């Protein structure tokens, strides 16, 4: 191992940080390494959007030892150890704009109600540089070797608990799923998994992209976020969809604030080209059993496996923020006693769903919904919200004048 990379995931879903020599690992674990508040304003394209911090202020990246990941030396590249970090003030106290702290706060609020959230992220991505193969085929599975086996080994060696590695439907598309875990662990793994996949692909002469839509006419790459609670608290077989009273109120919170939430969970200008009916992404704001057009799908099972699948997300979202807003929205549903939403059955027809609310048609519409939703806006520290809106609107402006094909290509270049 040559270096230690101390990292955060920013509002543009980019993993950024600082490397220190391996000999300094102990010191950086004790005292962190320097960071700058204005870094929060970095866009996916590397520019700094308007932000409240300017050139002033100092922060520290304080690594969390439990996030350690080791990437072995391979293909001429040195071994590297990665830690994810909290962004703190220089004295080590919390910084209210830290995305990881945002999720930690949501988890603690739920625990105060006696509920411990469990989650996992399903990631789809495309691998360029392989021969053309059929969807879901053994041919595609084998064509990705040795990348696929190396990826599973890398994830297992770092305790990520991979469950499935599979060839997917879209051209060159694959999917990796991990076992459910505590909410913070799930989001940390989501941040790291993207980097591990891209890094391994480079070392195998391939290019991995998590872009939500590589081409407007093609299949997109989603991130399905699965949510449940420890102890089977989401499950009640006597109620509609098998959702407990708690689970129904939690679902109602997500559905009521759906438009604002998508500004965080589907966080790029091309994300909303994917979130349309008949793409098996999210065709409307509704809760359903075993229906992959639903924004919120009930995945059936017993007390230990019954869960909610949020389908309006992709890898342009910061995992800490995406999971954090979902948990906080669900919590609002519980606290405010939102009425249980209708659970549409598996047999529901398209005509019957004609009246369900649509998702935002564009990122601009979603950002406006976020700015207008007092509940979701109130989840964020003011400077964090201001910077987030600024970053996302700057990314939107960067694509002015480009058609959908060009926009998809530009986003794919950075994700």
| pLDDT, tens only, 186-240 | 999 999 999 999 999 999 999 999 999 999 888 899 999 999 999 999 999 999 9
Average of per-residue pLDDT across 169-198: 97
Residue 337 exposed, middle or buried by CB count within 10 Å (0-12, 13-18, 19+): exposed
Which residue, 251, 247, 227, is CA-closest to 238? 247
Per-residue burial over 225-244, b if 16 or more Cβ lie within 10 Å, else e, is bbbbbeeebbbbeeebbbbb
Does the pTM of the predicted model rise above 0.85? yes
Torsion sign (Cα): 81, 86, 87, 93: negative
The residue count for the chain: 415
For residue 174, list its beta bridge partners: 125, 167
What average pLDDT does this structure show over 154-180? 96
Chain centroid, CA 53 distance in Å: 26
**Strand bridging mode 284-289 / 343-344:** parallel
Looking up tokens 């991979």, which residue turns up?
Answer: 162
Confidence tier at 278 by pLDDT (50, 70, 90): confident
For helices 363-372 and 258-265, the axis angle rounded to 10 degrees is 120
Residue range 281-299: mean pLDDT, rounded: 88
Per DSSP, what are the bridge partners of residue 3?
A: 21, 80
Confirm if 290 and 296 have CB atoms less than 8 A apart: no
Residue that wins the pLDDT comparison between 354 and 250: 250
Neighbours of 382 (CB within 10 A): 12
Backbone dihedral region for residue 266 (phi beyond 0: left; psi -120 to 50: alpha; all else: beta):
beta
| Closest to 274 in 3D by CA, of 222, 327, 317 | 222
């Amino acid at each position: 191992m040559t270096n230690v990379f101390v990292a955060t995931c920013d509002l543009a879903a980019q993993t950024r940080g600082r490397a220190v020599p391996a000999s300094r690992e102990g010191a950086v674990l004790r005292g962190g390494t320097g960071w700058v508040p204005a870094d929060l304003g970095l866009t996916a394209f590397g520019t700094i959007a308007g932000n409240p911090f300017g050139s002033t202020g100092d922060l520290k990246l304080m690594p969390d030892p439990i996030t350690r990941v080791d990437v072995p030396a391979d293909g001429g590249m040195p071994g590297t150890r990665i830690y994810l970090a909290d962004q703190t003030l220089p004295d080590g106290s919390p910084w209210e704009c830290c995305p990881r702290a945002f999720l930690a706060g949501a988890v603690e609020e739920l625990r105060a109600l006696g509920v411990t959230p469990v989650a996992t992220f399903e990631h789809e991505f495309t691998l360029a540089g392989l021969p053309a193969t059929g969807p879901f085929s053994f041919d595609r599975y084998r064509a990705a070797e040795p990348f696929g086996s190396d990826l599973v080994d890398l994830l297992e060696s770092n305790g990520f608990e991979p469950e499935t590695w599979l060839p997917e439907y879209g051209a060159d598309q694959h999917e990796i799923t991990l076992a459910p875990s505590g909410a913070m662990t799930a989001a940390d793994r989501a941040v790291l998994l993207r980097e591990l996949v891209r890094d391994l692909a480079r070392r195998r002469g391939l290019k991995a992209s998590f872009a939500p839509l590589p081409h407007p006419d093609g299949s997109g790459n989603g991130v399905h976020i699965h949510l449940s609670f420890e102890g089977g608290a989401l499950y009640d077989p006597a109620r509609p969809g098998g959702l407990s009273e708690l689970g129904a109120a939690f679902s109602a919170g997500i559905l009521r604030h759906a438009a604002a939430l998508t500004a965080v969970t589907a966080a790029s200008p091309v994300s909303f080209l994917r979130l349309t009916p008949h793409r098996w992404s999210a065709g409307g704001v509704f809760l359903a059993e075993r229906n992959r057009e639903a924004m919120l799908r009930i995945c059936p099972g017993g007390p230990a496996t019954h869960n909610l699948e949020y389908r309006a997300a992709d890898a342009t979202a910061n995992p800490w923020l995406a999971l954090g807003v979902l948990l906080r929205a669900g919590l609002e549903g519980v606290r405010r006693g939102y009425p249980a939403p209708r659970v549409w059955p598996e047999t529901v027809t398209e005509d019957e769903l004609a009246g369900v609310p649509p998702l935002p048609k564009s990122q601009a519409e979603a950002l406006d919904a976020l700015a207008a939703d007092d509940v979701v806006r109130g989840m964020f520290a003011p400077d964090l919200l201001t910077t987030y809106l600024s970053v996302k609107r700057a990314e939107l402006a960067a694509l002015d004048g480009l058609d959908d094909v060009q926009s998809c290509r530009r986003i794919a270049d950075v994700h």
